[in-house]
A and B are shown apart, each in its own frame.
Chain A
Amino acid sequence: QKEVEQNSGPLSVPEGAIASLNCTYSDRGSQSFFWYRQYSGKSPELIMFIYSNGDKEDGRFTAQLNKASQYVSLLIRDSQPSDSATYLCAVNDNDMRFGAGTRLTVKP
């Protein structure tokens, strides 16, 4: 069974801090990795995707991928209260598999 694991949280950080969200996956053949944000009662929306080992930056967001360790993370710099949401990690190797999500709260 292919697994995608996330710490369910809640993760609480103060406004302006860096939030670090982590995800591990079991299938070494996975090729593409996604981070989605989901506000309460809403649908998931894509933040960013990453294919290659290393870091990928987009504004305040940085995705980090380490295929050898089967680990992908999302860093949110200068966290804002509007970043409070559940963050879903998704891994694709023909089928898209989602983690259960980490709930992030950014306190003013």
Chain B
Amino acid sequence: NAGVTQTPKFQVLKTGQSMTLQCAQDMNHNSMYWYRQDPGMGLRLIYYSASEGTTDKGEVPNGYNVSRLNKREFSLRLESAAPSQTSVYFCASSGRDSLSDTQYFGPGTRLTVL
């Protein structure tokens, strides 16, 4: 049981390049999330998916797109990377059961845009 996995762990891009961050969970969770974490600003929600086939914008969606490929996988795409997108990206999932909507996080992707 791996929980939430993310690839890659590290990535360096040049301005204007594109890339896709991959996330998968094996906990049969319905909801999945993408956050970015910047120094002094905490975690900010980029996009989320409450169930397979649905996606919604979070607090900071500009410059990103997402795909909920199936129940397990939720990818984040940067079409034209900018230095302002240098950050650590975390994927999370939650079961949204009756007890809590605790989110479980992946190990993160550290992205640098030059």
Residues of A within 8 A of B (CB): 4, 8, 32, 34, 42-46, 49, 88, 90, 92, 95-101
Apart from A88-B43, A101-B42, list 12 A-B contacts with CB within 8 A: A32-B101, A34-B102, A42-B107, A43-B105, A46-B103, A49-B100, A92-B101, A95-B59, A96-B33, A97-B45, A98-B42, A100-B40
Closest-CB distance, B59 to chain A (whole angstroms): 8
Q: What CA separation (Å) do A46 and B95 show in the bound complex?
A: 14
Q: Name the residue of chain B whose CB is nearest to the CB of A2.
A: B59
Q: Which residues of A contact B106 (CB under 8 A)?
A: 43
B58 within 8 A of A: yes
Contacts A43-B90, A43-B108 given; does A99 touch B42 at CB 8 Å: yes
Choose from B40, B43, B104, B107 the contact partner of A98 (Cβ within 8 Å). Answer: B43
Interface residues of B, dominant DSSP: loop
B41 within 8 A of A: yes
B102 touches A49 (CB 8 A): yes
B42 touches A88 (CB 8 A): yes
Closest-CB distance, B17 to chain A (whole angstroms): 25
Choose from B33, B101, B107 the contact partner of A43 (Cβ within 8 Å). Answer: B107
Q: Name the residue of chain A whose CB is nearest to the CB of B108.
A: A43
Q: Which residues of A contact B59 (CB under 8 A)?
A: 95
Q: What CA separation (Å) do A100 and B40 show in the bound complex?
A: 6
